[in-house]
Each structure stands twice: as C-alpha cells, then as structure tokens.
Structure 1
Amino acid sequence: MNFDKNLLMTYKKLIQTTELERSYQEFLRLFRFLRVELEKELGDYRFQGNIIENGMDYSYFQFTNDALKKKGLKIAVTFVHRNFQFEVWLSGFNRKIQCNYYELLKDTRQPFSLTEDPKRSDYILRIPLDQNLDLSDGKRVLSEIKDASLRLLGYMEGVEAT
C-alpha cells in the first residue's frame, strides 16, 4: 500500500518546525478540563469515560441521563478542528433515531441549527459557540458549553419522537 509522500513530509515539517505537538497537547488539556468540570456541574448526567479524537476532524465527549436515554438521545460537546470552534450537539444513539427526530423537527422553528441530512451527520441539532470565544479562558468556555447544553436539554424535554 502506498501513501501520499507529500502529506507525510508536510506533517514531518510541521512537527519539526512548529509547536504543533505542544499546541495539540494544550488543546487536549483544555478539553479534559471541560469534560471533568462539566461532569462535576451536571451531576445528574452520566458522562462517557473519555474524549474521542476523530482524526482531527472533530473531537468530542458525550453525556446523557435516563430521560434522554429513553428517547435515544445524548449531548456531545464537540470541537471542530477546521473551524477551531466548540459546538454542542444533540445526537441520536443511531441514525434511525436521528432520522425520527429530524422528521419531527424539520418543519418547526427552533433556535438551533438542524442537520441537513440526519443519515450522514452526527447530530440532530447543534449550537456553535462564538468563534471569537477566548479558549484560554477555561471557566468562560465551560460556562458557554454548559449554557448551550442546558438550552438543548430544556428544548428537548417536551419533544417526543414517534
């Protein structure tokens, strides 16, 4: 099997000539802080054990509670690397559940971004955080993520899929 030599050499150059490795480690430190602190503040929810890194496409951790679980739903705190932006997603446990909620919500107005294609995206609804949010201010980022999560959770309390 052959691999793209130019991309591999670009990666080598980035690792050797920038602080890419240390910068990524600092990002992970921030993300772990957010997960741990959010779990402390939202004690009624069960958090997934660790952060999932999806090949620098996006990284996330998720949580749910009994009420959400009965609906087949979870919240994902997501960092989209290309946009360098946090988002909070409402997701289904599987594509079938996502499609059911999409059908339920597609003709309604809500204050969130609704997926365009529930069969291909990993969320039903999402809230992108402000791109100008100072990520070095961990407490502020935590507050924004918690607020977005609670807004999604509150919205979904009255929504039932068929």
Structure 2
Amino acid sequence: MASLNESMIAYGKLIKETELQEAYKGLMQFMKELRTHLKENHPDYNVSANLYPGYLDLTFFSFTTELTKAKDLKYMVVFIHEKTEFQVWLSGRNRKVMSAYHEKFKSYPMGDYRLTSDETGMSAVIESALVEDPDFDQLTELTQQIEKGIKRFKEVIENDFLNSD
C-alpha cells in the first residue's frame, strides 16, 4: 500500500492529466439538480437538504415518505463511483432499525432487489440498481430513468414489504 505522500502525488497527477475534476464537478451538479427535481415534483417525498459528496466512493441524498418515516426508514439515492452506477437503497435511522428489518425481510422474495448482508457498518437493508450505464450527455433522460426506478422501488417496498407490518 502506498504512503499518503505517494497517494497525494498520484492524486495530483490524476487531477492534472485527466478529466477527474471536471467529472466530479459535473456529478455533484447533477446530483444537486436531481435532488431538487425530486423535491419539487414529488411533494410526498420529504427530500433531505443535504447531499453527501463522499470520498470518491459513493455520493447520495435521502428522502422519506410518511410510511418510511413512521418506521424509522428512509430511501437513499446513491451513485457508486467505482461502478458508475445509480442505485436506490432502503435504509434505516440506525443500525438497530436496519438489522431488525433485515431479519424481517429475509423470508421475502426479493425479485430484482438485493437484501444486503446484516453486518456492522451496513448502509442499506435492500438495494436496487437504477441505471447501470448512465449517459451523462443526456441528463433529462437520465433524470427520468432514475425517477422512474425510484418510483417503482418505493411502490414495491411500501406495498409489498412495509404494508405487512
């Protein structure tokens, strides 16, 4: 493993020689606009005011609905940097909540969704890919793809998983 100094030299080189900085700025702008779009177009979504930029690992924001908030759950709209993939997650207020729902959902058919591993540091209970190969040259279409996937995920979670509580 490289030392911090060696890593910083490599980092500076990437900034100078690649489009890394421009790509990161563009991603942050898109995520902010996506968050605003969902907030303005879905009054039933209580969209968080914050965008977590991450450490070039993941970038996300969250939202709740009346049902998820009442159950200490939330949705997370996530960009996974290494995969360049958008996902939506069902998460919880804390580890205890997530672990309880993980246990409950073990017997549920997951279909296109993935039940995560119940382990220390888990960030989600259920995950789903939204867009696996996003086209950042078509931002309107990308926003629509993500929005449609979020809506479908929310409906399945709330109708098939949470309404049986």
How high is the TM-score relative to the length of structure 1?
0.89
Q: 1:99·1:119 contact (CA, 8 Å) conserved in 2? A: no
Please tell me whether the aligned partners of residues 79 and 86 of structure 1 are also in contact (alpha carbons under 8 angstroms).
yes
CA–CA distance in structure 2, aligned partners of residues 41 and 79 of structure 1 = 21
Partner of 1:45: 45
Deviation at 1:138, TM superposition (A): 1.6
Once the two structures are TM-superposed, the CA of residue 118 in structure 1 deviates from its matched residue by 4.9
Q: CA 1:104–1:161 in 2, change beyond 3 Å: closer, same or farther?
A: farther
CA contact (8 A) 1:101 1:161 kept: no
Residue 133 in structure 1 maps to residue 137 in structure 2? no
Which residue is equivalent to 1:94? 94
SS in 1 for 2:23: helix
Q: What letter is aligned with 1:47?
A: V
Q: Partner residue of 1:63?
A: 63
Count of residue pairs the alignment pairs up? 160
- Tell whether the 8 Å contact from 1:90 to 1:152 is kept in structure 2 after alignment: no
- Give 3-state SS (helix, strand or coil) of 2:122's partner: coil
SS of the equivalent of 2:117 reads coil
Q: Which has the higher contact order (CA 8 A, sep 6+)?
A: 1
Gap change, CA 1:118 and 1:147, over 3 Å in 2: farther
Further displaced range: 150-159 or 30-39: 150-159
Report the residue type matching 1:150 in the other structure. K
Quick check: 127-136 or 47-56, which moved more? 127-136
Contact (CA 8 Å) 1:34, 1:138: kept in 2 or not? no
Instruction: Tell me the distance in 1 between the aligned counterparts of 2:154 and 2:64.
Output: 10
Judge which range, 38-47 or 70-79, deviates more.
38-47
Does 11-20 or 131-140 show the bigger shift?
131-140
Partners of 2:153 and 2:45 lie apart in 1 by 14
Instruction: Determine the C-alpha separation between the residues in 2 that align with 1:115 and 1:41.
Output: 30
Deviations 1:61-96 (A, max 9, x none): 111122210011111100011111110111111111
Give unpaired runs (5+ residues) of structure 1: none
**Superposed displacement of residue 153, structure 1:** 1.8
**Deviation larger for 71-80 or 10-19:** 10-19
Between the aligned partners of 2:73 and 2:29, the Cα distance in structure 1 is 27
Alignment of 1:110-125 (within 5 A): 110-111=110-111, 112-125=113-126
Tell me the C-alpha RMSD between the 2 structures.
1.8
